[in-house]
Amino acid sequence: MKIKITAESSCDLSKEQVERFGIKIFPMAVTLGEDVYQDGVDLTPDGIFEYVAATKVLPKTNAIAPVQFEDYFNEQLQDADAVIHFSISSGISSCYQNACLAAEEVENVYVVDTKSLSTGMSLLVLKAAELAAEENADAKTIAETCRALVEKLNVSFVLGDLEYMRKGGRCSAVEMFGANLLKLRPVLQMDDGKLGVHNKLRGPLPKVLELYIDERLNNAEPRTDRVFFTHTCTDDTIPNLAKKYLEDKGIFKEILLSRAGATVTSHCGKDTFGILFLNA
């Protein structure tokens, strides 16, 4: 059975990772003013930053419509026996519900609500890709296996640009910190498919990075096969520091760096970063 693994662009896999694991990505739409762009196709995170700096207005993101999913699934099935599609959390987008509606009209499509975003989604996507490559792989079984892993996801971020989140309304609890937020770095955590404030850290970025990684790993029992460090930084300073710090801990066999795409960047702004992994 040939199985295609697909996901929305909000999974934030890099082009190299997409090619390496053979993933098909459905670009989400991002609206800047009156113009609509496709995440990762004709819009990059840098384009987001330039637009917001010039207009002081945040982009808008839109869920993929059922008819778009239906067309996409049919296209993927032209050279595959089944599709397993991974959607951004149903708690923050209607993509999952829309994909399910489309799957009702197309045979052999299995939709997984990751209850996550960014590379939290990708942890499941890559697991599915590895299972699909095995002999006698079965799409329904793989989808069920990945759904069971959703509760094992450990997904969090250190928020970079507080104004993006406040204006975007994605995490209303951020407002509780008031004006002092400019001196603090809130840690956002995915719980039951929604983002909430878990903690707050103080200090320069390199120090906050170490405090954050220590806190996440000391309070979890991570699987050792893979960890993502995902970010919206405009240079490699923080990602490189994070990779070195994680390497020195000697916990993970594979450390994957990923810069968030336009969809996720639209809601969190610059200098947001997080480590994402599966709990044992």
State which of 127, 150, 173 marks the end of a domain. Answer: 150
Verify that 246 and 113 share a domain, yes or no.
no
Average of per-residue pLDDT across 182-206? 86
Question: Would the pLDDT of 165 be above 70?
Answer: no
The CATH number of residue 45's host domain is 3.40.50.10170
Verify that 35 and 143 share a domain, yes or no.
yes
Verify that 179 and 236 share a domain, yes or no.
yes
What is the pLDDT at residue 135?
Answer: 92
Verify that 167 and 91 share a domain, yes or no.
no
Question: Would the pLDDT of 272 be above 80?
Answer: yes
Q: Residue 214: which domain range?
A: 153-279
What is the pLDDT at residue 179?
Answer: 34
In this prediction, residue 194 has a pLDDT band, given cuts at 50, 70 and 90, of very high
In this prediction, residue 251 has a pLDDT band, given cuts at 50, 70 and 90, of very high
d(CA 119, CA 275): 9
- Pairing assessment for the beta strands 185-191 and 222-231 based on DSSP bridges: unpaired
Strand-pairing partners, residue 154, are 277
Verify that 113 and 231 share a domain, yes or no.
no
Coil/strand/helix, residue 74: helix
b/e per residue 216-234 (b: at least 16 CB within 10 A): bbeeeebbeebbbbbbbbe
Which residue carries 């250190």 as its tokens? 158
4-21 pLDDT per residue, tens: 999 999 999 999 999 999
Q: 3-state SS of 6-69?
A: EEEHHHCCCHHHHHHHCCEEECCEEEECCEEEEECCCECHHHHHHHHHHHCCCCEEECCCHHHH
State which of 125, 150, 175 marks the end of a domain. Answer: 150
The CATH number of residue 274's host domain is 3.30.1180.10
Verify that 106 and 227 share a domain, yes or no.
no
Please give the DSSP secondary-structure letter assigned to residue 133. T
Domain count within the chain: 2
d(CA 162, CA 241): 23
68-112 pLDDT per residue, tens: 999 999 999 999 999 999 999 999 999 999 999 999 999 999 999
Number of residues assigned to the chain: 280
202-239 pLDDT per residue, tens: 888 899 999 999 999 999 999 999 999 999 999 999 99
State which of 104, 127, 150 marks the end of a domain. Answer: 150
Sheet holding 35-38, edge to edge: 35-38, 29-32, 60-62
Verify that 256 and 146 share a domain, yes or no.
no
